Chain A
Amino acid sequence: MSGFMSTLIGPRVPEQELREHRARYLTPTLIFMLARVLLLVSIFFPYWHMELEAPQYPNGLFLTAHVNHLSGDVREIDGLNHYIGMRPLGEAAAFERAASVWLIIAMFLLVEGAAFVHSKWALLLAVPVITFPGGFLLDLYIWMRSFGLNLNPEAPLSASVKPFVPTVVGEGGIGQFKTYADLGTGFWLAVACAGLTIVGFYFHRRAYRPLFLQMRRAAAGGAS
């Protein structure tokens, strides 16, 4: 192994050491593994949802955003949105929805990779996973802002409804509708994944940092 590569992926654990301190090296690996599983599972849960309440909809209208698709009363909400000139929901975040599953698989593989990299560069591989929930929220906000502020001025009710920024989380309102938006299980699974990844890095550093320093010392000693 070249010096550059070993600096990059860090030291390998000697058999003897692994046998004696199995828990120390297994802990970060297992935590990363759990984080990855949670992230994959999050695909199947809603990341965000919004409920709309109005007198003539006694059962409410519901919008659910999974990481890769929108579901619920999309058709009806689009129908209502046309009155205020809002674009159809299907046009929002189309690229993100198409790419999301691939992105998650890529992040899954990166964290998988991080478990094998025993240097500080492992952290770099985990940056996407750690920032993913924040990125999701930011993206959601940008889209909602864009949709709310860019209403078709030719719409039937454009005289009475001014452009607005819909509430991403919490209570909002538009016309006779009250809206309640909240983050879903999927989002919290992604947050748990990010959190676990950070925790994993604590144990990762605890396990491999000494080996890394040892390797560097050995390299320095060998050079001198």
Chain B
Amino acid sequence: MTASTLASRSRHVLALMIAAGSVLACITPDALAQEGRRRRGGDQEAKPVQLSPEQTDQLTKIATDRKLNVDDLLSAAKTYMPSGRHDDYVLFSSGGQSGQVFAIGVPSMRLLRSISVFTPESWQGYGFAGEADRVIDSLKINGKVVAWGDTHHPALSETKGDYDGQFLFIGDKANSRIGVIDLRDWETKQVVKNPLTVSDHGGAFVTPNTEYVIEGGQYATVLGYGYAPIEEYKKSYRGMVTLWKFDRAKGRIDVANSFALELPPYWQDLADAGKNASDGFFFLNSFNAEMATGGIEKGNPPFEAGASKRDMDYLHIVDWRKAEAAFKAGKAKMINGFAVLSMETTAAEGILHLAPEPKSPHGVDVTPNGQFMVVAGKLDPHVTVYSIDRIKAAIASKKYSGTDDYGLPILDFDAVKEAQVELGLGPLHTQFDDKGYAYTSLFLDSAVARWTLGGEYDSLNPEPAWKLVHKTPVQYNIGHLCAAEGDSASPDGKYLISMSKWSVDRFLTTGPLLPQNFQLLDIGSTGTTMPVIYDMPIGVGEPHYCQMIKADKLQSWKVYPEVGWNPHTQSLDPNAPKKGQEGVVRDGSNVIINMTAIRSHFSPEHVEVNEGDHVTWRIVAAETAQDATHGFCIGGYNINLSLEPGEYTEFTFTADKPGTYPFYCTEFCSALHLEMMGYLHIKPKGTK
């Protein structure tokens, strides 16, 4: 072959390669992944509905028989989810005294699941992993297991003031704790206890990039579990607000870098972080500026009267970046091992300003643009709106109307007030939508008020600024309310939940203890149209606050990323037994059981230990299919685990009661689920 034919041949080879390459390039990776896959039914096609005369008759008959009017039919159409269709939003609700969090789909109002945080719950295997259970340890306060919580305010993690769907924080009012839930696997990863105070109220709220989780206190005590008689209330009792540093990479609160502000004993209540225009601040309301000390039995006015005497309480305005700087500069003192900035420091550093607020209010809510703070005076028919520009100007020009008994500057009310809007009786909490409306719950009126915001929001709706537009009655005694992403920097409107405290006649009677009523309101229109379209009974505790996040922001795992995954460390566990490594390892009276669980058997199935042995039991759910969850229980030893696909769990117990113990899978996993069992033989002492 000559050089020329070689050259010509290599040109042809090149041409062929290019041709073959371009053919291959037409086959996309997507097409490859789909190769051979059968087309599935998938989502229902959205065909325009056209009712035939027969269907209209049918519908009319059903409506008549069931006593439904046209509004009812429309409500049903707005909320009904056909089987397999997913909700647009997920509502994360506090579970009140159940110590849990509930996840509810919106608009269908179907309970998706609960997440246990402060209360052990057996289905999730939360707190039922034998002795030295990490969960139970995390619930200890001063050495005692406090196995319940009064969950109050959930807070989704935020990035630039918007929910990012990564983490959920929840406060326990009864015991001043914060729980941290990872929304990849919807499990509680951490519970932190505030060492300063017995109980709290204003937890949890986050700063716009989740730099800090804010926990506001409530009932004043001697900080750090100290003692002082009630006569020394003013001198020794203190309020507080804690800024828990959140380490997003670790998914944990970083206690060592967290700190608190000492506050006057005014019974601080709810918090909200500033954003955009008010970024760098957070706000706290209070309702006992009277510093009432009760004592009805001594002939004193009870708390309910004493704490309601004055027309004004104090809005607390905290510059948290200044507070952080003071903390980092070492200006905090330690109380019960926790860093606290004293009131002298907060006053000297210009960290905290007070502003008068009417009257025993319950909460302060920041508008999406951060421009306005809305305070609803529980015992005043108005909401009072403050503007951050006015606040900043008043702080800069020291426009004070005085200082309080603790030397904290009080800003002049008229200097910081933007507007007051009369809404009705018992205004409590406020949320926002995308149309320039604010929504305030009216506890005594049992209604949701829609009213207009001013400033840049004025142009978004037809009504004039700062005016009540409409009130929708709710059933009954509404506490918090929640609009879709309604406390974030970009609310969606559409849906609003009324967290009605009393249901009275809304449902069948369930004995003297009645469920709460979560009512869904359609807030998609403007003006006076704002109907209630669904009632959902909550028969598990009394939820306080909830947040509604767009479902597609959640990046939940379908199964754990790898078999042998430790959900606590969120990584593969080196101790997780692999297939083929199952068995019993004995070292004196310490026994390690290495077990795998896969449909429909545990391996090993016979486990023999001696009475008195200290048993460490390691189980891997060697499953990778979605929903192929197993349980594991040993009767009489208070052990039940939830072994989700891929999950690794370890538990320990002392085999102190000899006998023959069947262990079995507690989650109906397969057709041979009942056969998924084994025997634990605890041999009595002296048995050969």
A124 at interface by CB-CB < 8 Å = no
Report Cα–Cα, A60/B17, bound state, in Å. 37
The one of B32, B35, B38, B675 that contacts A180, using a Cβ cutoff of 8 Å: B38
Question: Is B625 a contact partner of A76 (Cβ separation < 8 A)?
Answer: yes
CA distance A31 to B125 in the complex (A): 65
Binds B, one of A33-41, A89-97, A135-143, A204-212: A33-41
Interface range, B side: 20 to 34
Tell me if A49 is interfacial: C-beta within 8 Å of chain B: yes
Chain A residues near B598: list those with CB within 8 A.
Answer: 79
Extra contacts, 4 of them, besides A18-B5, A75-B624 (Cβ < 8 A), are A51-B38, A60-B38, A60-B40, A79-B623
B132, CB-defined interface residue at 8 Å: no
| A79 with B599: CB separation less than 8 A | yes
Binary per-residue interface labels of chain B (1-23) against chain A in the complex, 1 for a CB within 8 Å, 0 otherwise: 01001000100110011001000
A49 engages B36 (CB within 8 Å): yes
Report if A101 contacts B (CB, 8 A). Answer: no
> 22 pairs across A/B with beta carbons < 8 Å?
A15-B2, A33-B12, A33-B16, A34-B16, A37-B17, A38-B20, A41-B20, A41-B24, A45-B35, A46-B36, A49-B36, A51-B36, A51-B37, A53-B38, A59-B40, A60-B40, A64-B35, A79-B598, A79-B623, A83-B672, A156-B672, A184-B35
List A122-152 residues whose CB lies under 8 Å from chain B.
none
Task: Name the residue among A34, A37, A41, A58 with the largest chain B CB count within 10 angstroms.
Answer: A37
Please name the residue on chain B nearest to A40 by beta carbon.
B20
Asked if B36 and A30 sit within 8 Å, CB to CB, the answer is no
Q: Is residue B124 within 8 Å, beta carbon to beta carbon, of the partner chain?
A: no
Query: In the complex the two chains form, is B2's CB within 8 Å of A26's CB?
Result: no
Task: Determine whether the beta carbon of B36 is less than 8 Å from that of A156.
Answer: no
A29 proximal to B (CB < 8 A): yes
Return chain B residues, CB-CB under 8 Å to A49.
Answer: 35-36
A180 to B38, CA, bound (A): 9
**A184 CA / B32 CA spacing, docked (Å):** 10
Interfacial residues, chain B to chain A (CB-CB below 8 A)? 2, 5, 9, 12-13, 16-17, 20, 24, 27, 32, 35-38, 40, 598-600, 623-625, 672, 675
Scan A71-86; emit 1 where CB is below 8 A from any B CB, else 0. 0010110010001000
* Chain B residues near A58 (CB-CB < 8 A): 40
A167 at the interface (CB under 8 A from B): no
A57 to chain B: which residues have CB within 8 Å? 625
Interface of A with B (CB < 8 Å)?
15, 18, 26, 29-30, 33-34, 37-38, 41, 45-46, 49, 51, 53, 57-60, 62, 64, 73, 75-76, 79, 83, 156, 180, 182, 184-185
A26: B residues at CB distance < 8 A: 12
Query: Shortest Cβ distance from B603 into chain A, in angstroms?
Result: 12
Q: Are A33 and B600 closer than 8 Å at their CB atoms?
A: no
B38 touches A37 (CB 8 A): no
Closest CB in chain A relative to B29 CB, distance in Å: 11
* Shortest Cβ-Cβ A-B pairs, 10 listed: A49-B36, A76-B625, A37-B20, A75-B624, A182-B36, A156-B672, A51-B38, A33-B16, A34-B16, A46-B35
Q: A48 CB to closest chain B CB, in angstroms?
A: 9
Which residues from A are CB-within-8-Å of B37? 51, 60, 62
| B20 CB contact (under 8 Å) in A18, A34, A64, A79 | A34
Q: Given contacts A60-B37, A182-B36, is CB(A156)–CB(B625) below 8 Å?
A: no
Query: In terms of DSSP, what is the predominant structure of the interface of chain B?
Result: loop
CA distance A113 to B301 in the complex (A): 107
Q: A219 to chain B: closest CB distance in Å?
A: 23
Task: Report the Cα distance A45→B32, complex, angstroms.
Answer: 8
The answer to whether B20 and A29 have CB atoms under 8 Å apart is: no
A45 to B29, CA, bound (A): 11
Kindly report which residue of chain A lies nearest to residue B13, judged by CB atoms.
A33
CA distance A33 to B264 in the complex (A): 87
Residues on A with beta carbons closer than 8 Å to the beta carbon of B600: 83, 156
- Can you name the residue of chain A whose Cβ is closest to the Cβ of B623? A79
A30 with B2: CB separation less than 8 A: no
Min distance, Cβ B28 to any Cβ of chain A, angstroms: 13
Q: Which residues of B contact A156 (CB under 8 A)?
A: 600, 672, 675
Among A46, A60, A73, A79, the most chain B Cβ lie within 10 Å of the Cβ of A79
User: Given the complex of chains A and B, what is the CA–CA distance between A67 and B624 in angstroms?
Assistant: 25
Q: How far is the CA of A38 from the CA of B2 in the complex (A)?
A: 28
Contacts of A76 in B (CB 8 A): 624-625
The smallest C-beta distance from B560 to any residue of chain A, in angstroms, reads 13
Complex CA gap A37/B15 in Å reads: 12
A residues near B35, Cβ cutoff 8 Å = 45-46, 49, 64, 184-185
Instruction: Report the Cα distance A49→B40, complex, angstroms.
Output: 17
Q: Are A29 and B38 in contact (CB under 8 A)?
A: no
Compute how far the CA of A79 lies from the CA of B623 in the bound complex, rounded to whole angstroms.
9
Bound CA span A57–B9, Å? 53
Closest B-chain residue to A51, C-beta based? B38
Q: Which residue of B is nearest A26, CB measured?
A: B12
Instruction: Return the chain A residue nearest B23 by Cβ.
Output: A41
B384 CB to nearest chain A CB (Å): 53
Q: How far is the CB of B1 from chain A (nearest CB, A)?
A: 9
Q: Bound state CA distance, A51 and B39, in angstroms?
A: 11
A75: chain B residues at CB < 8 Å are 624
Nearest CB of chain A from residue B657's CB, rounded to whole Å: 32
Chain B residues with Cβ below 8 Å from A59 are 40
Residues B16 and A30 in contact, CB atoms below 8 Å apart: yes
Cα-based distance from A60 to B626 in the complex (angstroms):
12
| Residues of the A chain whose Cβ atoms lie less than 8 Å from the Cβ of B13 | 33
Chain A residues with CB under 8 A of B623: 79
Q: Which residues of B contact A38 (CB under 8 A)?
A: 20
Complex CA–CA separation, A39 to B17 (angstroms): 13
Residues of A within 8 A of B9 (CB): 29
Task: Output the nearest chain A residue to B563 by Cβ-Cβ distance.
Answer: A75
Tell me the bound Cα distance from A75 to B12 in angstroms: 45
Instruction: Give the residue name and chain of the A residue nearest to B36 (CB).
Output: A49
Q: How far is the CA of A33 from the CA of B15 in the complex (A)?
A: 11
Cβ of A73: which chain B residues have Cβ within 8 Å of it? 625
